[in-house]
């Protein structure tokens, strides 16, 4: 009787695992999409920077609500920065346009 119950449990678990595997997407790996602002929003002093730096600025603009949650570890608190977003964005105007900070240029 115990063997029958154990076999049923094993079959149930295997069935659940097979069902979960079938529900996963192609390749089984989760994919995420990163949102970047268009390069056209960048000021001239950022457009001349290396591609990685431009991407970081574009990410910062498009993901302000997330980047603002992370502290900055570069020691820029002495210049008034409260979070990582402050290294990229100086202010966001009422119309939604952004005044950029040059601190993250390096």
Using one digit for the tens of pLDDT, what is the confidence trace for 41-73?
Answer: 999 999 999 999 999 999 999 999 999 999 888
Q: What is the DSSP letter of 91?
A: E
Has this prediction a pTM greater than 0.85?
Answer: no
Give the tens place of pLDDT for each residue, 24-38. 555 555 667 889 999
* Of the candidates 105, 71, 66, 69, the residue with the CA atom closest to the CA atom of residue 88: 105
Domain that holds residue 54: 39-105
- Residue 9 resides in a domain: no
Does 74 fall in a domain? yes
Q: Is residue 70 part of a domain?
A: yes
Span 82-91, mean pLDDT? 93
In the chain, how many domains are there?
Answer: 1
The rounded distance, in Å, linking the Cα atoms of 41 and 60 is: 12
The answer to whether position 5 is within a domain reads no
Instruction: Say if 92 falls within a structural domain.
Output: yes
Q: How far apart (Å, rounded) are the C-alpha atoms in residues 31 and 56?
A: 20
Which of the four pLDDT bands, split at 50, 70 and 90, describes residue 13?
very low
**Residue 79, domain member (yes or no):** yes
């Amino acid at each position: 009787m115990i063997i029958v119950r154990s076999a049923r449990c094993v079959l149930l678990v295997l069935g659940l695992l097979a069902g979960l595997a079938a529900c996963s997407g192609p390749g089984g790996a989760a994919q995420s999409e990163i949102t970047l602002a268009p390069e056209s929003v960048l000021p001239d002093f950022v457009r001349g920077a290396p591609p990685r730096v431009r991407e970081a600025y574009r990410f910062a603009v498009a993901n302000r609500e997330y980047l603002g949650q992370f502290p900055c570890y570069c020691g820029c608190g002495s210049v008034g920065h409260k979070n990582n977003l402050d290294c990229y964005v100086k202010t966001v105007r009422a119309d939604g346009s952004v005044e950029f900070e040059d601190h993250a240029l390096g």
